[in-house]
């Protein structure tokens, strides 16, 4: 995620509101409440892994009504007499392996009771039909389903899925997606991955999208409205799709000039971090001020306010860098968010230097010297910032500083070896701070406890020593 400092601060307030209610849930948290993330005790479900989502929704812009049928293919990790899905819309029916199942709902949870126990290790299809007006659904004081000038978009972090499809809503449970979006004729509907078909029927158009690489649920998005679509293949052979909503106003030209650099940016990132992880690239700019951009897999979404002051290539660098760090490798728990934002911000530093600007080392030293030891910039333990400060500026900037300190400590060659192995040799596509530290120690042959502790967990300004990467 990226935003201007003011917009990011606004976003933090909104996230805080969600966190308060999400953590409070429906009573005391227990192991059965979620996957065990202390920041979001109600997020996800520990009893199963989702292998695939087949999401099918119809959206009516005139009324805001969304109707959907989603089928989840899941594998039971234990014997299941019941299990939960995250859903904020009204469920109308549930079946497991084609047999009707009993279900109940609370504010955020859909509890499914299959007619037969699902044995450990068994793979089953769970089909849910549902409907609602997600723009009216506020959970913790906000909704990631927002109206745009010609339609609506659902996009957000740390959660957005529950507003439009039932899910195991935590990044630790990644799955493949096929998404079918139906809108009135004359509208477009955009999502992740490849556009596999577009079919007109009964005054409607159905757009089918396929994301064949595993994806975290919060990275799935849907945009409905009147868009200018640009499809093609870059000089390096990457398939792209750019979407610009009509009525972008003064931000339109800057948005187009910026997002159309995605191919060039992606090629540069691939030379830096290794091959691009997915088959598609692109970007979506809805006609609404979101206050942020988000790294939706294969196709980031940029609020039009990201371009209010002109072209901004760095935000494209940031969100596309997340395709490696955050999308290809997701975080096991939300406390490790610095891994996503630190690498994305550091990619911006590298891009600036490659274009003749200040080097990452100069950025590192200048930032370090700019903040006195007593400055609150150093107070936050960014390795475990707490749910209220997930998107604090320090997570981004000090995350990048931590990476430069690591590079100084172990050397350029070993640093880039670590980063590339982190992405391309990661068997489950998940990571944590401890895992990155262990990888860096294996590659470099150095013991890095103090460097990681002092930069991520001390809450103090690291001393300018060799141990700390100076």
Q: Has residue 450 been placed in a domain?
A: yes
Q: Has residue 286 been placed in a domain?
A: no
Q: Has residue 45 been placed in a domain?
A: no
Which of 151, 135, 128, 156 is CA-nearest to residue 1? 156
Tokens read off for 448:
């890095």
Answer yes or no: is pLDDT of 14 > 50. no
Whole-angstrom CA distances from 342 to 357, 378, 456 are 19, 15, 11
What is the C-alpha to C-alpha distance for residues 367 and 364, in angstroms, rounded to an integer?
5
pLDDT band at 191 (very low <50, low <70, confident <90, very high): very high
Share of the chain above pLDDT 70, in %: 93
Q: Is-contact 68 186, C-beta < 8 A?
A: no
The dihedral sign for the CA sequence 86, 159, 64, 283: negative
**Average pLDDT along the chain:** 93
pLDDT per residue as tens digits for the range 125-142: 999 999 999 999 998 777
Query: What's the CATH code of the domain at 374?
Result: 1.10.390.10
Q: Is-contact 18 334, C-beta < 8 A?
A: no
Which of 407, 414, 405, 452 is CA-nearest to residue 433? 452
pLDDT per residue as tens digits for the range 202-245: 999 999 999 989 999 999 999 999 999 999 999 999 999 999 99
pLDDT per residue as tens digits for the range 51-84: 999 999 999 999 999 999 999 999 999 999 999 9
Q: Determine the pLDDT at residue 43.
A: 86
- Structural domain for 383, as ranges: 331-456
Average pLDDT for 428-454: 98
Q: Has residue 444 been placed in a domain?
A: yes
Q: Has residue 42 been placed in a domain?
A: no
Total number of domains in the chain: 1
Answer yes or no: is pLDDT of 5 > 90. no
Q: Which residues are within 8 A (CB) of 113 and not within 5 positions of it... i.e. 6 or more apart? A: 81, 82, 101, 102, 103, 104
CB neighbours of residue 96 within 10 Å: 22
Q: Which residues are within 8 A (CB) of 194 and not within 5 positions of it... i.e. 6 or more apart? A: 209, 210, 211, 212, 239, 279, 280
Spell 282-299 as b/e; 16+ CB within 10 A means b: bbbbbbbebbbbbbbbbb
pTM: 0.93
Q: Has residue 11 been placed in a domain?
A: no
Answer yes or no: is pLDDT of 2 > 90. no
Q: Determine the pLDDT at residue 3.
A: 61
pLDDT band at 30 (very low <50, low <70, confident <90, very high): very low
What is the C-alpha to C-alpha distance for residues 16 and 146, in angstroms, rounded to an integer?
18
Average pLDDT for 81-108: 97
Q: Has residue 194 been placed in a domain?
A: no
pLDDT per residue as tens digits for the range 392-417: 999 999 999 999 999 999 999 999 99
Spell 62-90 as b/e; 16+ CB within 10 A means b: eebebbbbbbbbbebeeebebbbbbbbbe
Tokens read off for 176:
């493949």
Q: Has residue 400 been placed in a domain?
A: yes
Answer yes or no: is pLDDT of 25 > 50. no
Q: Determine the pLDDT at residue 33.
A: 67
Which of 57, 68, 108 is CA-nearest to residue 85? 108
């Amino acid at each position: 995620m990226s935003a201007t400092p003011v917009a990011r601060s606004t976003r933090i307030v909104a996230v805080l509101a969600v966190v308060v209610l999400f953590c409070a849930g429906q009573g005391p948290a227990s192991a059965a409440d979620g996957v065990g993330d202390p920041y979001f005790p109600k997020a996800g479900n520990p009893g199963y892994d989702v292998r695939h989502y087949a999401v099918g929704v119809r959206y009516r812009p005139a009324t805001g009504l969304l109707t959907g049928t989603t089928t989840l293919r899941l594998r039971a990790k234990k014997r299941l007499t019941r299990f939960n899905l995250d859903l904020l819309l009204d469920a109308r029916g549930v079946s497991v392996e084609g047999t009707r199942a009993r279900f109940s709902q609370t504010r955020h949870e859909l509890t499914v009771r299959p007619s037969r126990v699902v044995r450990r290790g068994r793979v089953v299809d769970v089909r849910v039909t549902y409907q609602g007006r997600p723009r009216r659904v506020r959970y913790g004081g906000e909704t990631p389903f927002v109206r745009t000038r010609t339609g609506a978009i659902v996009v957000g972090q740390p959660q957005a899925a529950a507003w439009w499809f039932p899910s195991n809503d935590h990044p630790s449970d990644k799955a493949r997606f096929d998404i079918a979006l139906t809108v009135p004729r004359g509208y477009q509907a955009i999502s992740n991955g490849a556009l596999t078909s577009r079919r007109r029927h009964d005054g409607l158009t159905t757009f089918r999208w396929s994301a064949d690489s595993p994806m975290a649920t919060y990275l799935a998005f849907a945009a409905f409205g009147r868009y200018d679509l640009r499809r093609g293949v870059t000089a390096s052979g990457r398939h792209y799709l750019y979407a610009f909503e009509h009525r972008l106003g003064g931000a339109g030209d800057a948005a187009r000039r910026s997002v159309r650099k995605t191919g060039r940016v992606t090629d540069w990132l691939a030379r830096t971090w290794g091959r691009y992880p997915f088959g598609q690239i692109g970007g979506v700019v809805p006609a609404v001020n979101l206050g942020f951009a988000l790294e939706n897999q294969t196709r980031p979404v940029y609020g039009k306010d990201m371009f209010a002051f002109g072209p901004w290539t760095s935000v494209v660098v940031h969100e596309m860098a997340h395709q490696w760090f955050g999308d290809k490798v997701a975080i096991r728990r939300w406390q490790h968010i610095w891994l996503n934002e630190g690498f994305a911000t550091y990619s911006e530093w590298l891009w600036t230097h490659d274009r003749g600007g200040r080097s990452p080392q100069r950025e590192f030293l200048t930032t370090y010297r700019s903040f006195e030891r007593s400055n609150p910039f150093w107070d936050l333990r960014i390795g475990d910032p707490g749910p209220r400060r997930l998107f604090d500026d320090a997570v981004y900037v000090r995350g990048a500083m931590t990476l430069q300190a690591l590079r100084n400590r172990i050397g350029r060659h070993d640093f880039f070896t670590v980063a590339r192995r982190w992405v391309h040799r990661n068997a489950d596509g998940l990571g944590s701070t401890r895992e990155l530290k262990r990888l860096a120690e294996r590659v470099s042959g150095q013991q890095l406890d103090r460097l990681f502790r002092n930069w991520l967990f001390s809450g103090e300004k690291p001393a300018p020593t060799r141990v700390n990467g100076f």
